[in-house]
Chains A and B, each alone.
Chain A
Amino acid sequence: MFEYRGLLDRPSRDALGWEGIFRGFDQLFREFERDMPLASFGVVPAEVTEEADRFVLKVEVPGIADKDVHLEVHDGVLTVSAERPVEAQQGYKTLRRERSALRFSRSYAFGDHVDPEKISAELKDGVLTVGLGKSQKVQKKSIPVRVT
């Protein structure tokens, strides 16, 4: 016996007609096509890229507060930790939960490739960006060509 859910309900795409099984929230916010980002599976996306004069670490932590981010540089090692707990919604029933608590803690050994004086960090729109300026040693130098 299928549940009546209202005028605007559309039949399930499933040819076997298993619509009755997917009751409740799955049908309530039914949707089309999903390709979910890593963060949905508890993996905090983090990436280090290299630019001409610095390395950049980007960590995706939407909803994180300043106090939940910690950065430490010691002996050529950068340690980053960030935590975004998932707030329980008081007074609401949970119909769907895809956002998991994010816990990120990683150490990057940059040795003498990075100048400790040139480290910056910014938390903006849920993305933590850490800039690590390259040390003189690894900076590519443009050698001026003298014309005589």
Chain B
Amino acid sequence: MLGITKKNQTAAAEEARTVSPALDVFENDAEFLLVADLPGVAQGGAEVTLDRDRLLLQANGVHRFRRELVVPPSVDGEKVSAVMKAGVLTVRLPKRAPYQPRQIEVRTS
């Protein structure tokens, strides 16, 4: 039958490859939201590290996944959180208070 690969060849090729996962980035006044596809990665299998302004995502699933990003200074590093579910990693990066737009009331007199 055409198009069928023998398991051994595939396994060796897959393990050697490090791949950058597809990523969506969203923003609102309060935070940045990162959503990454990490197929085959178990709920406890993703490693998210924040070192100063570098966010590193690493995980082993269908591929060896790795992606490093520069994070803006408006992000409050203490409040970054991440959730892994059904092969999708969601990282929330809340902004520091001064970076959240706010209305200043203009008082008369």
By a beta-carbon cutoff of 8 Å, the part of chain A in contact with chain B is 6-8, 10, 25, 28-37, 39-40, 45, 47-51, 55-56, 58, 60-65, 86, 89, 91-100, 110, 113, 125-127
- The answer to whether the Cβ of B6 comes within 8 Å of any Cβ in the partner chain is yes
Interface residues of B in 49-92 (CB under 8 A from A): 52-53, 61-63, 67-73, 86-88
User: B39, A30: Cβ atoms under 8 Å?
Assistant: no
Partner of B19, one of A37, A58, A89: A37
Partner of B18, one of A6, A35, A91, A93: A35
Q: Which residues of B contact A60 (CB under 8 A)?
A: 39-40, 62, 87
Cα(A106)–Cα(B5), bound, Å = 17
Cα(A61)–Cα(B22), bound, Å = 12
Cα(A32)–Cα(B10), bound, Å = 27
Partner of B40, one of A33, A93, A125: A125
Q: Which residues of A contact B73 (CB under 8 A)?
A: 6-8
Cα(A96)–Cα(B40), bound, Å = 23
Given contacts A113-B1, A127-B39, contact A63 B88 (CB under 8 A): yes
User: B39, A98: Cβ atoms under 8 Å?
Assistant: no
Q: Smallest Cβ distance from A22 to chain B, in angstroms?
A: 13
The 9 closest A-B pairs by CB, nearest first: A126-B87, A62-B87, A92-B26, A96-B25, A60-B39, A40-B22, A63-B88, A62-B37, A98-B22
Q: Which residues of B contact A31 (CB under 8 A)?
A: 67-70
A interface, over-half SS: loop
User: A93, B86: Cβ atoms under 8 Å?
Assistant: no
Given contacts A61-B39, A62-B37, A98-B23, contact A29 B86 (CB under 8 A): no
User: B70, A30: Cβ atoms under 8 Å?
Assistant: yes
Q: Which residues of B contact A25 (CB under 8 A)?
A: 25
Cα(A34)–Cα(B19), bound, Å = 8
Q: Which of B32, B37, B62 has the most CB of A within 10 A?
A: B37
23 intermolecular pairs with C-beta atoms under 8 Å apart: A25-B25, A28-B72, A29-B69, A32-B68, A34-B67, A37-B20, A45-B39, A48-B5, A49-B7, A50-B4, A51-B7, A60-B87, A61-B39, A86-B24, A89-B24, A91-B28, A92-B27, A93-B26, A94-B24, A94-B25, A95-B32, A99-B24, A127-B87
Q: Smallest Cβ distance from B52 to chain A, in angstroms?
A: 8
Cα(A89)–Cα(B70), bound, Å = 22
User: A62, B5: Cβ atoms under 8 Å?
Assistant: no
Q: Name the residue of chain B whose CB is nearest to the CB of A89.
A: B26
